[in-house]
Structure formats: C-alpha cells, structure tokens
Amino acid sequence: MPELPEVETTRLGLEPSVVQRRMLGAKIRVPRLRYALPPRLDAKIKGHRVEALERRGKYLLLRLDNGTIILHLGMSGSLRVVDCDSSPALHDHVDLVFSGGLCLRLRDPRRFGAVLWTSEDPHEHRLLRDLGIEPLTPAFDGDYLFSRSRGRRLAVKSFIMDSHIVVGVGNLYANEALFVAGIDPRRAAGRISRVRYTHLARAIKRVLRDAMAKGGTTLRDFVNGEGAPGYFRLHLRVYGRAGQPCHRCGRRLKSARIGQRSSFFCDRCQR
DNA sequence: AGTGCGGCCTGTCCGC
DNA sequence: TGCGGACAGGCCGCAC
C-alpha cells in the first residue's frame, strides 16, 4: 500500500518523464474518488507546463505554471506513465495528458485516492497545511517525538501513524519500526522515555529508507511509475506474520487490533 | 484538546 | 457452486 516509500518511489520514477512537459488536458472517467474530482480540470491545465513533481507526506504535487494538481494514492492507487492511445484498464480513473503522446494514468481500485486542484500555495491547502514533520529530515528525532507525546494516552503505534505528528508512516511501516525499536505498539505514547523515542525515530528512518531502496512494498496493487512492483515485502519483519516465528527470538509473533488497525509484534522482543 | 469511531470503496477470502 | 459477510486500509469528519 502506498506509504511514504511507495509515494517517493513513484515520484522519483515519474519526475523525469513529466517535468517540463506541457499539459494537453485531463480525461476523467469517474465522478469522484475520495472527493469529487475538480470541476473543469481539463480546461484549467490545458496548455500549461509542468514545473516540478514534489511530495509532501503521502501527497504528490504536480506543479504547473498556473497551479498545482494534488494527488493522493489512498491505499490502492498507482500512477504510471503510459502511451495516451493505450486503452485504459478497469479502475484507470484519470489520465493527465501531456504533449508528445504520453499521459500519467491513475489506477485506484478502491477509490480512496484523491485528485485536487489549487491555484494557491499547495502547502497552504486545507489538507496539507496541518501535516506533521517529514520523517527523513534531521528535525525528526527522538526529542521531537518525546515532546509531542507528553500527556498523550493513545497507543504509540497510533501516535506515529498520526499524519499531524509525522507524515508517511502508515500501518505497515509503523509495525516494522516498532519491532526494530523494540517497543510494544500498545504502550501509551506519553509513557515512553526520551531515549526510547530516539531509538524509534532512528528505526522509522531506517525502515523507510530500506523500503525505498527495495522499491517499496507491494502487497497487492502497488506498482511504480514504470509498472514494476516493490520488493520490500520479502524483508518484512512482522507485518502479516502473526503466528510465524520472530526473526530475533523465534517466539510466535502476535497480532492485535490497535486503533482499528491490525498490528503485529513480538511480545518478548517488544516491551 | 484528545480520543475513538464511522464511512468511503472494491477485491478477496471464509463459512455455510 | 453461490452467496453473504467480514476484512483490508488512509484519513476526514464527527461525537463525546
């Protein structure tokens, strides 16, 4: 599922194909994904040039010279560069068409993704302006997590999945990082020490970087801009492995529901 | 303010 | 074999 490594993998793969191209328009085949699609998007972007493809959290920002298309892949979305004349498959909901016969094609079976338009600063968009810190920046560290978590009683796993605290850490990587840090995911966020948060911040960075180096994680739908899956699934330590042995101690891994999300951990290695 | 939950959506899997 | 129902999940919006 697209979390930060998958979105960044997508961005890196697409960037050279789209930057500096001129938009011919948009073909929209569904009325709405998570939100209604922007009215008259085709007319808004026609003739305008792509200046950059950026990422903020799990949002992709296609910066045009007159505004920004904000994209979110939800949980089943993928973006590919394809020949515009190729016929769309099932769930290929949106084409962003470039001059030269190429287009960015958004496939999203579960329609939890989003396509938005803004002519203002996208970082001031309602959905982006209150996002938390980027995990792969120096400012994201144990001190940050420690100070933001004081007084919070929710589970530490839910805390690090809160995009208003830190972006890009979804269910899969939260499970993996907590295992690497040796922290029980059920523990209250406000009752974890500064030194343990230092371990956790490092674990999050390490897990995200490792996943990106493997092209992200493909459980079912995810493919990168060239249509290839990611291979981090082969390196998952706990996610989806309930009942199988812990790679560290051999004990059977446990599963539990935490904040309505399936969670996997070793109750010997994680305290 | 913090917390938890419902809802959106489709594909897959399980039990009857 | 067919069918209903549970589940998966990001994240907004709402209620307490």
Residue pLDDT tens, chain A, 271 long: 688 888 888 899 899 999 999 999 999 988 888 888 898 999 999 999 999 999 999 899 999 999 999 999 888 888 989 998 898 888 899 999 999 889 999 988 888 889 999 999 999 898 898 899 999 999 999 999 999 999 998 999 999 999 899 998 988 889 999 999 999 999 999 999 999 999 999 999 999 998 888 867 666 666 666 676 676 666 788 888 888 899 999 999 998 888 888 889 999 999 9
- CA–C1' gap, A8 and B12, in angstroms: 28
Six-digit token string for A36: 């209604």
Dihedral over alpha carbons A48, A54, A59, A60 (to 10 degrees): 40
**Contact present, A112 and A74 (Cβ < 8 Å):** yes
Annotated active-site residue A88? The verdict is no
Q: Does residue A154 reach within 7 angstroms of strand B, measured from its CB?
A: yes
Q: A11, A44, A55, A58: which is the annotated catalytic residue?
A: A58
Can you tell me the distance from the alpha carbon of A25 to that of A43, in angstroms, rounded to the nearest whole number?
A: 7
User: What is the per-residue pLDDT across A70-94, written as a single tens digit (0 to 9) for each?
Assistant: 999 888 888 989 998 898 888 899 9
Q: Does residue A157 reach within 7 angstroms of strand C, measured from its CB?
A: no
Six-digit token string for A126: 């309602």
Can you tell me the distance from the alpha carbon of A176 to that of A174, in angstroms, rounded to the nearest whole number?
A: 5
Q: Does residue A158 reach within 7 angstroms of strand C, measured from its CB?
A: no
The nucleotide whose C1' lies nearest the CA of A35 is B8
**Contact present, A271 and A184 (Cβ < 8 Å):** yes
Sequence letter at residue A8: E
Give the bases of strand C that a protein CB approaches within 7 Å: 7-13
User: What is the per-residue pLDDT across A163-204, written as a single tens digit (0 to 9) for each?
Assistant: 899 998 988 889 999 999 999 999 999 999 999 999 999 999
Q: Does residue A89 reach within 7 angstroms of strand B, measured from its CB?
A: no
Annotated active-site residue A31? The verdict is no
Residue lying closest to nucleotide B10, CA to C1'? A110
